[in-house]
Amino acid sequence: MPSDLLADPDVEKRSAWRVHPIRRSLFVLMLLLFALFWIWALFFASKTAVNKVEDRAWAARAEQICAEVRPQLQALEAQASNDLAVRAGLVRQSTDLLEQMLVDIVAVPPTDAKGQAIVPEWEADYRILLADRYRYADMLASGKDGPFTETAVQSVPVTERIETFAGDNLMPSCAPPRGSVL
C-alpha cells in the first residue's frame, strides 16, 4: 500500500506545492515580518498616551479639585428619588457641581504645549456632557421620564472620551459619574 501512495499524482502535487521555493520563501518572510512587528511593538513603539498632559502638576491639581467634588456628588446621590421634580433638581445640582469643578480646573492652563492643545478639547467634551445633563434635567422637570442620552463625538460617547482623558492623566476623580446621571 505505501508504494501506491508514492505513485499517487495528487500526493506528489501536494508535496510539490509545500516545498516550492517561492512559497517557502514567502512563508518565512511573513513569519519574519510578524516577529519584527511584535519586537517593534513591545520594545520600540512609543508607550506615551495620546491624551497625556506633560505638566504633571496641572494633572495633580485637577485630580485634587475633582476629588473634593466627589463626596458632594455622593451626598446628592444619597438623596435619589423617584419623584421627577426631585430628580430634576438633583441632576441640576450635581451638574452645577461638575460645571464649577471644570471651571476651577481650566482656570489654570497646563504649562506644556501639548497640554495647552488638548485640554481645551477635553473641556469642550465636558461642556457637551454638561449640556446633555441639563437637557435631561429639563426633560425630567417637564414631567417626562426617560433614559439619559449623551452626545457622541466622532462616533464615541462623550463620557468615554472624558474618561479616557482622565485615565491617561491619572485623574480618576475627574471621570464623569457612572451608574447614575447624578
Band the pLDDT of 18: cuts 50, 70, 90: low
More confident residue, 32 or 43: 32
pLDDT 10s digits, 133-170: 999 999 999 999 999 999 999 999 999 999 999 999 99
Question: CB burial class (10 A; 0-12, 13-18, 19+) of residue 87?
Answer: buried
> Using 50, 70 and 90 to split pLDDT, how confident is the model at 24?
confident
Cα angle 148, 94, 101; round to 5: 115
Q: Which residue has the higher pLDDT, 111 or 27?
A: 111
- Residue 70: per-residue pLDDT: 95
Is 78's pLDDT higher than 80? yes
**Residues 125 and 153: beta-carbon distance below 8 Å:** yes
Annotated domain spans of the chain: 2-43, 56-174
Average pLDDT, the chain: 88
- Alpha carbon of residue 4 to chain centroid: 62
Q: Span 67-74, mean pLDDT?
A: 96
